[in-house]
Amino acid sequence: MNDDLLKKLKRIAEVECDIPLSSMTTLRIGGVASYVVYPDSTVALDSLMRLLIAEQIPYKVIGKGAHRLCSDRPFEGVIIRLDKFDEYYFLGSDLIAQAGCSIIALSYEAMKQGLSGLEFVSGIPASVGGVTFMNAGAYRSSMCDVIDSVFVYRDRRFEWVSNKDCEFTYRHSIFHSHPDWIIIAVKINLKPEKTSEIRELMDSRRKRRMDSQPLDKPSAGSVFQNPPEMPAWKLIDGIGYRGYRIGGAMVSEKHVNFIVNEDHASAEDFLQLVNEIKQRVEEQYNIRLHMEVERFNW
């Protein structure tokens, strides 16, 4: 523990020390992070970033950790949590939401306002920043379909970036290529709709998720991107890996594109299972699967 760094961090924001990354991800896997910092304003975030860059301290912004595989190694740097960036407001049919907001909670708030557009993310346990970074999607819709612009901290400046300039593609955005950029807030375009119709759609999709996904076990959500030739789950089923297990990591019997933490899985268990699936699918189908779960601290 660097006492001098800790003192400086505490002057800027709330700080926790030696926190397991496993407690910050839905997969419940990951080594211990030296510092976790919770800035509560853009001024605090700017001060924090200037300090980390000046002292060459490694850092990572983590939201709700819904789509991330952390290694078992210690992370001797700073994890930045934007949990306190949780304000949002509606301007007509537009929603402006800070990065720390729960996208599930926002989808329900939009429904109460009679605004449609976020039904497809009403079951994704992630933050606004996380779903924007990943261009998350479901039911043939993605965040790029509703995002107008993104408020970003980059090059020591805060500025709005248009949807077009975010370079959204399938499960990808420009932020993958610029890990030093931080998503602060998002402007989302919604459409007026009857609250009853929005609620009915969200209820039906919630039931579908509960029936088809292993929501009772730790996971990182869908592991593989769907290739053009065939859905990933069909390929995994085709190689006979439903219920297949390595260590504590297991291919879900309920939805084979989910790998669940069945019993204190290590990051190596998870990654070994991923690589074995990719190898078997390529051998059998000549199709290369790509993991959409982000790897960190490897």
Catalytic residue IDs: 171, 222, 292
Task: Measure CA 75 to chain center.
Answer: 19
Strands (E), 92-169: 94-98, 115-116, 137-138, 141-142, 147-154, 157-162
What would the two tokens of residue 6 be?
């800790």
For residues 18 and 99, give the distance between their C-alpha atoms in angstroms, rounded to a whole number.
Answer: 24
Which residue do the tokens 């790897």 mark?
A: 295
Rg (CA), the chain: 20
Amino acid at the residue 105: A
For residues 166 and 142, give the distance between their C-alpha atoms in angstroms, rounded to a whole number.
Answer: 13
